[in-house]
Amino acid sequence: MLSYALRRLVQSVPVILIIMIGTFLLLKLAPGDTVDALVGDMGGADAQVIARLRAEYGLDQPVWTQLWIYMTKLARFDFGWSFVHEQPVATVLLDRLGTTLLLMVSSLFFAVTIGTVLGAIAARRAYSLTDNIISTLGLIFYATPSFFLGLMMIVLFSVKLGWLPVGGIQTIPSFYTGWEYVKDVALHLIMPTASLSLIYLALYMRLMRTSVIEVAELDYVRTARAKGAGEARLMLHHITRNALLPVVTLLGVQFSTILGGSVVVETVFTLPGLGQLAYQAVIQRDMNMLMGIVFLSAVVVIVVNFLIDLLYARLDSRIELS
Amino acid sequence: MSILESSVAVSAPSGWRVLWRRYRRNRAAVLGLILLGLVLFMAATAGFVEPTDPLRRAGEPLVPPFTDWATPLGTDQLGRDILAGIFHGARTSLLIGIISTVLAISIGTVVGAVAGYFGGWVDDVLMRITEAFQTIPNFVLLLALVAILGSSLENMILAIGIVSWTAPARLVRAEFLSLRGREFVEAARNLGVGDISIIFREILPNALPPVIVFASVIMAIAILLESALAFLGLGDPNFASWGNMIGAGRAVLRTAWYCAAIPGLAIIVTVLAFSLIGEGLNEAVNPRQKKA
Q: Which of A210, A213, A297 sits opposite B140 (nearest CB)?
A: A297
Question: Can you tell me the mean pLDDT for B84-88?
Answer: 88
Q: Which residues of A are less than 8 Å from B142 in CB distance?
A: 260
Residue of B nearest to A289 (CA): B144
In a domain, B196, yes or no: yes
The rounded percent of chain B whose pLDDT value lies above 70 is 93
Q: What is the percentage of chain B residues whose pLDDT exceeds 90?
A: 37
Peptide bond just before A173 cis, omega within 30 deg = yes
pLDDT of residue A318: 62
Cα–Cα distance, A222 to B163 (Å, whole number): 45
- Could you give the CA distance from residue A58 to residue B12 in angstroms, rounded to a whole number? 71
Interface contacts (A, B; CB < 8 Å): 145
- The CA distances from residue B86 to A309, B100, B234, in Å, are 45, 21, 19
Asked whether the beta carbons of residue B128 and residue A279 sit closer than 8 angstroms, the reply is no
pLDDT digits (tens, 9 = 90+) for B232-241: 989 888 888 9
Is B275 in Cβ contact with A151 (below 8 Å)?
no
The verdict on a CB contact (< 8 Å) between A18 and B128 is: yes
Predicted local distance difference test score (pLDDT) of residue B13 = 61
Q: How distant is the Cα of A260 from the closest Cα of chain B, in angstroms?
A: 5
The answer to whether the CB of B107 falls within 8 A of the CB of B97 is: no
Are B246 and B260 in contact, with CB atoms under 8 Å apart? yes
Q: Is the pLDDT of residue A319 over 70?
A: no
CB contact under 8 A, B147 and A29: no
Q: Contact B231/A285, CB-based, under 8 Å?
A: no
B141 domain residue, yes or no: yes
More confident residue, B151 or B101: B101
| pLDDT > 90? residue A6 | no
Residue A287 pLDDT greater than 50, yes or no: yes
Cβ atoms of A238 and A279 closer than 8 Å: no
Domain assignment present for B2: no
Domain with B93 in it: 17-291
DSSP 8-state code for residue A82: E
B291 pLDDT more than 70: no
CA dihedral A288, A293, A298, A301 (to 10 degrees): 170
Under an 8 A CB cutoff, do B143 and A282 touch? yes
| Residue B105 CB partners (closer than 8 Å, separation 6+) | B165, B168, B211, B215, B218
CB contacts of B140 in chain A (<8 Å) are 259-260, 263, 278, 293-294, 297
- Min Cα–Cα distance to chain B from A178, Å: 33
| Local confidence band at B19 (pLDDT 50, 70, 90 cut-offs) | confident
Residue B168's pLDDT is 92
What is the distance in angstroms between the Cα of B11 and the nearest Cα belonging to chain A? 34
Give the Cα separation of A90 and A94 in Å (integer).
6
Our CA dihedral for B218, B143, B107, B170, rounded to 10 degrees, sits at -60
Question: Do residues B137 and A301 lie in contact, with contact meaning Cβ atoms separated by under 8 Å?
Answer: yes
What whole-number distance in Å separates Cα of residue A259 and Cα of residue A103? 9
Is residue B6 assigned to a domain? no
The CA distance from B191 to A285, in Å, is: 57
| B68 domain-assigned | yes
pTM score: 0.88
Reported as a single tens digit per residue, the pLDDT across A61-113 is 788 888 888 888 888 888 888 877 888 888 888 888 989 999 998 999 999 99
From A253, A260, A298, residue closest to B139, measured CB to CB: A260
Cβ distance of B228 and A290 shorter than 8 Å: no
Residue B8, in any domain of the structure: no
Q: Assess if residue B10 is contained within a domain.
A: no
Residue B23 belongs to domain with CATH number? 1.10.3720.10
Q: In chain B, which residues have their Cβ closer than 8 Å to the Cβ of A206?
A: none
Supply the mean pLDDT for chain A.
Answer: 83
Residues in chain B with CB shorter than 8 Å from the CB of A18 are: 128-129, 132
Res. A55 pLDDT band, cuts 50 70 90:
confident
Check CB contact under 8 Å for B144 and A294. yes
Binned at pLDDT 50, 70 and 90, residue B69 comes out as: confident
CB contact under 8 A, B292 and A126: yes
Structural domain contains residue B5:
no
ipTM of the complex: 0.86
- Measured in angstroms, the CA of B104 and the nearest CA of chain A are apart by 17
Of B144, B271, B291, Cβ closest to residue A290: B144
Report pLDDT for A1.
60
Chain A residues in contact with B139 by the CB 8 A cut-off are 257, 260-261, 263-264
Closest chain B residue by Cα to residue A258: B137
Number of domains in chain B: 1
